[in-house]
Amino acid sequence: MATKPGERKQQILETLAKMLESPKREKITTAALAAKLDVSEAALYRHFSGKAQMFEGLIEFIEQSVFGLINKISAEESDGLKQIRRILTVMLLFAEKNPGMTRVLIGDALVNEDDRLQLRINQLFDRIESTLKQSLRIAETQSGRKLEPESQANLLLCYVIGRLHQYAKSGFKRKPMEYVQTQLTLLYGLE
């Protein structure tokens, strides 16, 4: 049965993401991926030039998903603190729904892969940090409280990354959304 253009490529990326959900953290090879798909390695290379390009496809999915939602939040929500809460919630819920992608986000799946992949993830987090700074500036103006956007955005991002690491370390059992509301209430008085 023939597949539609792009369908096989999508299937390869979905299978790779599923394989990344394994808590054993074994290195994923193109041979193992091909075996899982019941195709030859040559068939993988008809769609991707190498494993790095496959990971780039996963990173593109993360960027499109996360920033699509973040941009929507920024457009819909005028309250800076609520923007922050929703952005952090989106990131953590994305990780819960996509455990394999969590390993890409924290760089765990990118160890021993092309350095440009980790650079791209770092740029993704830089963009998120910039968005958080902007939301904190809005919240500072709205509340009249000094919130120190530069340091607080970094702190919030570190908190999220830490939660993602805990989630991966637990074998994707301990959900990253646990305790988030408590932390935000302690930091910013969000109810």
Residue 75 counted as domain residue: yes
The helix/strand/coil state of 97 is: helix
Distance CA 63, CA 142 (A): 29
Instruction: Look up the domain containing 58 and give its range.
Output: 51-188
Query: Dihedral, CA atoms, 32, 38, 41, 47, nearest 10 degrees?
Result: -110
What is the domain-level CATH number for residue 83? 1.10.357.10
Number of structural domains (the chain) is: 1
Average pLDDT, the chain: 89
Residue 83 domain flag? yes
Could you report the per-residue pLDDT of 75-123, keeping only the tens digit for each?
999 999 999 989 999 999 999 999 999 999 999 999 999 999 999 999 9
> Does the residue 42 lie in any domain?
no
pTM score: 0.88
Q: For the segment 27-38, what is each residue's pLDDT rounded down to a tens digit?
A: 889 999 999 999
Domain assignment present for residue 20? The answer is: no
Residues contacting residue 86 through CB under 8 Å, at least 6 positions apart: 73, 77
Taking residues 116-141, report their average pLDDT: 96
